[in-house]
A and B are shown apart, each in its own frame.
Chain A
Amino acid sequence: VNCRKAQKLLIDFADQSLAGTARKELETHLAQCEHCRTELAHIRTVRENLLSLETPEPGADFWEEFDRKLSQKLDAEGTSRTPAERVSGVLVWRPRVAYAAAALTMSLIAVLVATAFFILQRPPQPATELPVIARETHDSLALYPANDRLEFFAQHGFESPERSLADLSEEELAVLEEEMFIVIGPDLEPASQAMVPEEIYEYTVYDMLDDLSYEDIETLCKELGLT
């Protein structure tokens, strides 16, 4: 282990999540390298400082009031529908990056339309099959076999399509994460989450697609370029 590799392992070491050969090699290196020992001390100081941050310790009165307020809200929910009566569906997750901004970085943004479908179950509208939106990204790529990853990079002009996700540098991973977003249907993992950029469509976080009208979803798909 040289200093460069050691630096990458220090956080896991300080976190006590480094084991096996890597841990032994790092310990050997640390015994010989003052610079890396100093870096480790800095990292440990950060962790200790974080753990020393104080947070409020609400008392019994706080929780009593908390429960009372929440109970009122849940009661109001209960008079309309219980969880058992609600239809299942996908959730909407807010992406970090505006669609508009993402669109400007088309070399990184990829759109692959999934083959899965889901049925909109919300009455009174008739059950209708709608395309599940699947915008593949760094986050969802892990769900696919290696060949699919390569295909992804090849299709979307990533500089070295022969590289796999595991070969990307941290900086490249960060770029991927920042620049892309995903929308995943109920049959894919993470199954219960879908991401819809609010900048395109002003749905709140965790709005359920079931709560949108058929027209809304059609518009959404259109705006995402999926129809």
Chain B
Amino acid sequence: VLPDDELIRKSLAGDRRAFDELVVRYRKQVYLTAYRMVENAEIAEEIAQETFLRAYRQLRSFRRKARFTTWLYRITMNLCYTELKRSAKENTPVPPAVNNSSDRVPGKLMEEERMAWLKRQIALLPFKQRAAVTLRTFQNMSFNEIGHSLGCTAGSARVNYRHAILKLKEALKRSGEEL
């Protein structure tokens, strides 16, 4: 199995099959990350497609100071940001309802409802916090890598992750969830 760097070198030399190999290697991670950010399968697929298209177009600008995946995630996250911003403009956001019964964790209810509740809480997070949680929790990325993916420092990535976890924790506590 060729390392990423070698596939990138070959791609830059015009070897499409080498780039296709990179796509196969990372398409699932990119798609699932996009899905976790936008919560829509169709849009996640579009974002994944666009991520690889832009990566192909801009491969030469990849300077190999970070891992290829980190660079890919950066493109993915930019596209997710654009999409979330667009959808926020089109849809009136539902304000967080602290004491609203619909905001309570249906602890004894269906698992599906619990997950829907959690997704609503995640959707209320600012973009960078949401992205930091997604990359840290599901991709096991270091804060340094998250920083590269979000265009910020590792310290900033850590702060965003911390804020996100604390907000979710407070939401859980408010909801009256029995731990």
Task: Give chain A's interface residues, CB within 8 Å of chain B.
Answer: 11, 15, 38-39, 41-43, 45-47, 49-56, 58, 63, 66-67, 69-71, 73-74, 77-78, 82-84, 86-91, 93-94, 96, 138-139, 142, 170, 173-174, 177, 189-193, 195, 204-206, 208
State which of A38, A50, A86, A96 has its C-beta within 8 Å of the C-beta of B57: A86
Does B137 lie within 8 Å of A47, measured CB to CB? Answer: yes
Known contacts A170-B159, A195-B151; A11 and B166 CB within 8 A of each other: yes
CB contact list, B59-98 vs A, under 8 A: 59-63, 65, 71, 74-75, 78-79, 81-82
Does A193 lie within 8 Å of B151, measured CB to CB? Answer: yes
Complex: how many Å from CA A38 to CA B13?
Answer: 57
Does A191 lie within 8 Å of B65, measured CB to CB? Answer: yes
Q: Whole-angstrom distance from the CB of B42 to the nearest CB of chain A?
A: 11
Does B58 lie within 8 Å of A66, measured CB to CB? Answer: no
Q: List 11 A-B contacts (CB under 8 A).
A: A11-B166, A15-B136, A42-B173, A45-B177, A53-B119, A54-B115, A67-B27, A83-B58, A88-B60, A96-B81, A142-B155
Does B79 lie within 8 Å of A71, measured CB to CB? Answer: no
Complex: how many Å from CA A66 to CA B31?
Answer: 10
State which of B16, B63, B161, B168 has its C-beta within 8 Å of the C-beta of A192: B63
Complex: how many Å from CA A170 to CA B163?
Answer: 9
Does A11 lie within 8 Å of B12, measured CB to CB? Answer: no
Does B115 lie within 8 Å of A43, measured CB to CB? Answer: no
Does A78 lie within 8 Å of B16, measured CB to CB? Answer: yes
Known contacts A56-B41, A96-B128; A67 and B151 CB within 8 A of each other: no
Contact with A along B19-59 (1 / 0, CB 8 A): 11001100110011001100001000100110011101111
Known contacts A86-B58, A96-B128; A69 and B115 CB within 8 A of each other: no
CB contact list, B136-154 vs A, under 8 A: 136-138, 148, 151-153
Does A83 lie within 8 Å of B163, measured CB to CB? Answer: no
Residues of B within 8 A of A193 (CB): 74, 151
Does B60 lie within 8 Å of A50, measured CB to CB? Answer: no
Residues of B within 8 A of A71 (CB): 20
B14 contacts A by Cβ under 8 Å:
yes
Residues of A within 8 A of B31 (CB): 58, 66
Known contacts A74-B19, A177-B156; A91 and B61 CB within 8 A of each other: yes
Complex: how many Å from CA A83 to CA B138?
Answer: 31
Complex: how many Å from CA A35 to CA B16?
Answer: 58
Interface size on B, residues (CB 8 A): 67
Does A190 lie within 8 Å of B12, measured CB to CB? Answer: no
State which of B54, B71, B127, B172 has its C-beta within 8 Å of the C-beta of A46: B172
Residues of B within 8 A of A89 (CB): 61
Complex: how many Å from CA A217 to CA B34?
Answer: 31
Interface centre among B71, B137, B169 (most CB of A within 10 A): B169
State which of A42, A87, A142, A206 has its C-beta within 8 Å of the C-beta of B169: A42
Does A42 lie within 8 Å of B179, measured CB to CB? Answer: yes
B123 contacts A by Cβ under 8 Å:
no
Q: Whole-angstrom distance from the CB of B59 to the nearest CB of chain A?
A: 4
Contacts beyond the supplied A52-B115, A174-B163, A177-B128: 19 A-B pairs with Cβ under 8 Å: A11-B162, A11-B166, A38-B179, A45-B177, A45-B179, A47-B165, A49-B118, A49-B168, A50-B133, A51-B137, A51-B138, A71-B20, A74-B56, A77-B53, A83-B11, A93-B78, A138-B156, A191-B63, A192-B61
Complex: how many Å from CA A142 to CA B148?
Answer: 13
Residues of B within 8 A of A83 (CB): 11-12, 14, 19, 56-60
Q: Whole-angstrom distance from the CB of A88 to the nearest CB of chain B?
A: 5
Interface centre among B27, B49, B155 (most CB of A within 10 A): B155
Task: Look across to chain A and name the residue whose beta carbon is closest to the beta carbon of B64.
Answer: A192
Complex: how many Å from CA A58 to CA B49?
Answer: 15
